[in-house]
Amino acid sequence: MEYIALGEDAELPVEIIEGGRRVVVGGQTRSVDMQDIGDHSLFSLLVDNSSYEVLIEEQGGQLRVLLQGRLYTFQVESRDRHRLSKVAGRPAAPLGKVEIRAPMPGIIVSVPVTVGQAVSAGDVLVILESMKMENEVRAPKDGIVQTVGVAAGELVSGQQLLLVVE
Amino acid sequence: MFKKVLVANRGEIAVRVLRACKDLGLATVAVYSDADRGALHVRYADEAYCIGAAPARESYLRMERIIEVAKKADVDAIHPGYGFLGENPEFARACEAADVIFVGPTAATLELVGNKIAARRLMADSGIPVIAGSGEQWSQDKGLAETGQRIGFPLLVKAAAGGGGKGMRIVRSAEKLADAVALASREAEASFGDGTVYLERLIEGVRHIEFQIVADEHGSAIHLGERECSIQRRFQKLIEEAPSRALDPELRERMGEVALQVARVSGYTNAGTVEFLLDKQRDFYFLEVNPRLQVEHPVSEMVTGVDIVKEQLRIASGRKLRYTQEDIRPNGWAIECRVLAEDPDDGFVPSVGRVGRVFEPAGPGVRVDSGIYEGFEVSPYYDSLISKLITWGDTRPEALVRMQRALEEYRIVGIKTTIPFYQRLLKSFRFIVGQLDTDFLDKACYPEPEDEPMHLEAAAIAATLRFYRRSPRPRTVTAPSNEAGASNWKRSGRWRSTNRWST
């Protein structure tokens, strides 16, 4: 299987062969062995005989890889898909209905908008307190507030729906 | 000595105090909120009492409820830790009224040093150097603008009852002053219930140097040397070390003397910290007294060998200091990194949730003061400090290399932490040579470590393998050329949709 790992400023083709026991990268074939050592997030990785520990997390469709204190962010695509997306271009700003969700668990401090209110991209929709810090949740696009599902003082879980903007 | 002590706190500091109690052979009592039933301090104490709901003002800040538990459990003393009721004179007084010893200075001292304006005036009157305009307020006849002009810009607006960077604003020009004062006052009112603010000249490029003092109730006081806490983000300390590169024995002795003078004039007893700013001309200024156990106390413990919490308990029970100033001979170097549940790669936003796995560093010269464990739920109700990593070495470079090793060994899975941030920061040239000042992070002058090409490749391999394993794999493919495209489309779609709302 051929993949492209798209980094911040690098595009690395990685081919996985022999059912994941070897990879071809940079013209070299290397044996690889990646073992889960913690909660499907922490892995021990052997590349030939070099030993690494990597913490991998998925976030917003990207893979965040933490290796020796350095964060590498990749979008991995199959080579075919990569070719297509290059032709199609990247999707622009979100269209239509946008569900605004809590970026983290916390306590709602205030909701400075009401249903029916017009908002512009960047406007503060909700102020959420977590660990004694206030965090502003902002509108990703222009639109009208359709529904507001939370009120000040309420405890919300991560990813809980806060409001809808259309 | 006491027989039984209540620890009125949570998290790593509650655990730290419980350990000292156990080392002294004392029985222990923990208090906890609904959110902390499973917390370490509840598990480590001999007895535990629920004191209310998760928000601090409904539990850890409820004086009358904590006193009630103290009476019921029949304890001799209450150790408040830092934060919450740590330096609250009203609480100290409530303890006294209930015939329970408050482990800390007297209520009168807490009141005196708690008001920064009064404290600075007292120090200035005692001939202790304070910063220009320190404690300066304004009145009707001597307007705000005029006062600001006289002190000069840039200046700081600070809360009289302040701490932890709350109610604090930097003002660089006269026209911004009124707004900054209003904002700081509102923040101070919200945080401390007292909106009084004052002005002070801002000196940039200074070091934050503080002295640990310990005083008994029989008139003896010593200092345990200095700590440097110049690495701060938004007035919050992140990395501390002891001793400081900036002090030589002569300056150390002079500053230590002044620290003890501060202790004397404020009638200080028990453990505390005297904070100073040290400028490039090696002039130092009194900043404030922190009348409590400090977050960063372990670095002093590591170089002096004194268990500060044990000393606090001994002193509070009426005993004499076990040490004279001559007994304190700091040895080697210690560094502390505060591990916060925040994402350094996303503007330090809080990261809460379940801690999946923890691998703590160990080996020579490593100490971990932690409040978390595998399966622990980091809640949004409290401070983001979850653990402190401290390393010791014969020399600063040895302590530093050990810190780098320990940070790399420290794995916390499930929440994001500031560990990778420290790994990068500690590689910066300026940190390595000890050229520190309080603007270190604001200047963003520490370079990103250079990319190791092998690391980039290993990271790309890891990401690709992860993606490959998570994707539904084509089983026995009879016509690979036909199916590859279709299944890839489906796979990408599914991958996107399952990941959209995950953290």
Active site amino acids of B: 292
Q: Residue B160 has what pLDDT?
A: 86
Q: Name, in order, each residue with C-beta under 8 angstroms of B217's C-beta and a sequence gap of 6 or more.
A: B269, B315, B318
CA dihedral B461, B495, A137, A142 (to 10 degrees): 120
Quick check: B380 and A14 CB within 8 A?
no
What tokens were used for B279? Answer: 């400028």
ipTM given for this complex: 0.76
CA distance B452 to chain A (A): 10
Q: Residue B450 has what pLDDT?
A: 67
State which residue of chain B sits closest to A60, comparing Cα positions: B500
* pLDDT higher than threshold 80 for residue B168: yes
Quick check: A54 and B459 CB within 8 A?
yes
Q: Which of A59, A82, A85, A86 is nearest to A72 (CA)?
A: A59
Q: Is the four-CA dihedral B7, B12, B13, B16 of positive or negative sign?
A: positive
| Interchain CB contact of A28 with B (< 8 Å) | no
Interface test with A, best of B378, B385, B386, B464 (most A CBs within 10 A): B464
Flag the least confident range among A83-97, A117-131, B78-92, B338-352: A83-97
Provide the H-helix boundaries in B358-479. 396-409, 419-425, 429-433, 453-470
Inter-chain contacts counted by CB atoms under 8 A, chains A and B: 188
Q: Residue B346 has what pLDDT?
A: 86
For residues B422-435, average pLDDT: 92
* pLDDT higher than threshold 50 for residue B493: no
Quick check: B501 and A101 CB within 8 A?
yes
For residues B123-134, average pLDDT: 89
Rounded to the nearest integer, the mean pLDDT of chain B is 90
- Contact (Cβ atoms closer than 8 angstroms) between residue B450 and residue B428: no
Q: Give B186's contacts in chain A (Cβ within 8 Å).
A: none
Per residue in A34-49, pLDDT (tens digit) is 999 988 899 999 999 9
Interface test with B, best of A47, A56, A68 (most B CBs within 10 A): A68
Q: Residue A82 has what pLDDT?
A: 82
**Angstrom distance (rounded) from CA B362 to CA B365:** 8
Flag the least confident range among A150-164, B66-80, B200-214: A150-164
Give the highest mean pLDDT range of B343-357, B365-379, B458-472. B365-379
* pLDDT higher than threshold 50 for residue B481: no
Quick check: B499 and A61 CB within 8 A?
yes
Q: Residue B139 has what pLDDT?
A: 66
Confidence grade of residue B439 (pLDDT, cut at 50, 70, 90): confident
Q: Which of B357, B408, B503 sits opposite A68 (nearest CB)?
A: B408
The more confidently predicted of residues A51 and A9 is: A51
For residues B198-216, average pLDDT: 94
For residues B498-502, average pLDDT: 36
Per residue in B83-105, pLDDT (tens digit) is 999 999 999 999 999 999 999 99
* pLDDT higher than threshold 60 for residue A75: yes
For residues B259-272, average pLDDT: 97
Confidence grade of residue B313 (pLDDT, cut at 50, 70, 90): very high
Quick check: B492 and A71 CB within 8 A?
no
Which three-class secondary structure string do you get for B435-453? Answer: CCCCCCCCCCCCCCCCCCH
pTM above 0.90, yes or no: no
Give the highest mean pLDDT range of A12-26, B169-183, B441-455. A12-26
Quick check: B489 and A55 CB within 8 A?
no
**Angstrom distance (rounded) from CA B119 to CA B112:** 6
Q: Residue B36 has what pLDDT?
A: 96
Q: Give A67's contacts in chain B (Cβ within 8 Å).
A: 455, 458-459, 462
Q: Residue B162 has what pLDDT?
A: 76
B347, β-bridge pairs? none
State which residue of chain A sits closest to B385, comparing Cα positions: A131
CA distance B409 to chain A (A): 9
* pLDDT higher than threshold 90 for residue B136: no
Q: Residue B141 has what pLDDT?
A: 58
State which residue of chain A sits closest to B461, comparing Cα positions: A14
Provide the H-helix boundaries in B246-358. 249-265, 297-304, 308-316
Per residue in B362-403, pLDDT (tens digit) is 999 999 999 999 999 999 999 999 999 999 999 999 999 999
State which residue of chain B sits closest to A36, comparing Cα positions: B466
CA distance B503 to chain A (A): 5
Q: Which of B221, B283, B288 is nearest to B257 (CA)?
A: B221
Q: Residue B259 has what pLDDT?
A: 98
Quick check: B419 and A69 CB within 8 A?
yes
| Interchain CB contact of A97 with B (< 8 Å) | no
What tokens were used for B402? Answer: 């050990």
**Angstrom distance (rounded) from CA B209 to CA B240:** 10
Residue type, position A153, single letter? G
CA distance B360 to chain A (A): 13
Question: pLDDT over 70 for what percent of chain B?
Answer: 91
Flag the least confident range among A54-68, B97-111, B236-250, B293-307: A54-68
CA distance B370 to chain A (A): 17
The more confidently predicted of residues B459 and B479 is: B459
* pLDDT higher than threshold 50 for residue B486: no
* pLDDT higher than threshold 80 for residue A86: no
Q: Residue B127 has what pLDDT?
A: 95
| Interchain CB contact of A101 with B (< 8 Å) | yes
Q: Residue B27 has what pLDDT?
A: 98
For residues B316-334, average pLDDT: 97
Flag the least confident range among A44-58, A127-141, B130-144, B453-467: B130-144
Residue type, position B418, single letter? T
Largest CA distance in chain A: 61
Confidence grade of residue B25 (pLDDT, cut at 50, 70, 90): very high
Quick check: B380 and A32 CB within 8 A?
no
Quick check: B488 and A78 CB within 8 A?
yes
